[in-house]
Amino acid sequence: MDEEKKSQSIGKEIRDYLIMFAAVIAVVIVINQVFLINARIPSSSMEDTIMVNDRIFGNRLAYRTEDPERFDIIIFRYPDHESTYFIKRIIGLPGEKVEIRDGKVYINDDPKPLDDSFCPETPYGNFGPYRVPEDSYFVMGDNRNNSHDSRYWIHTYVKRDKILGKAMVRYWPLNKMGAVR
């Protein structure tokens, strides 16, 4: 009789662990599909803001109630190959004219260039002008001379519905953990 109870107890314990394991997996899947996007940075296009091999979390709900803003760092489906995710900074908003002259970014013919002093270098060359469609964004990497971004794509703009989330927190490497700006 003791062997039978012991066997039932072990079986119940295994079942309880399996249920707990399944619940944890379900919660992680829901969090990853609904709330967060996990990204590993594969290139130097966002240096010095985000470095190669950094790991970040993006907020999938960030743009449910608000529109993306200039300088937001977004994770999105690459317009020329939508199975690939990219991460870049928003430069041009819907309806704006974006032009790069002598390495400076100008919006809507404003004589004063954007303050993008967070970039380690200014882009070489002249690009544009680009007219951003109403449902889209013009994006660039912070490492302007080493970034494959809106300036070079076949499909120049990121459509709003292709934005997966707003980059929020770097969690790797641990010594650089913190907000992404």
d(CA 126, CA 86): 23
- Helix and strand numbers (H, E) in the chain are 1, 11
- Nearest-CA neighbor of 120 among 40, 46, 11? 46
* β-bridge mates for residue 100, sequence order: 105, 127
Catalytic site residues? 45, 88
In angstroms, rounded to a whole number, what is the distance separating the alpha carbons of residues 153 and 31?
32
Terminal C-alpha separation, the chain = 65
> What is the spatial distance between Cα 51 and Cα 81, in angstroms, rounded to a whole number?
23
Cα–Cα distances (Å) from 117 to 13, 122, 125, 144, in that order, read 59, 9, 18, 12
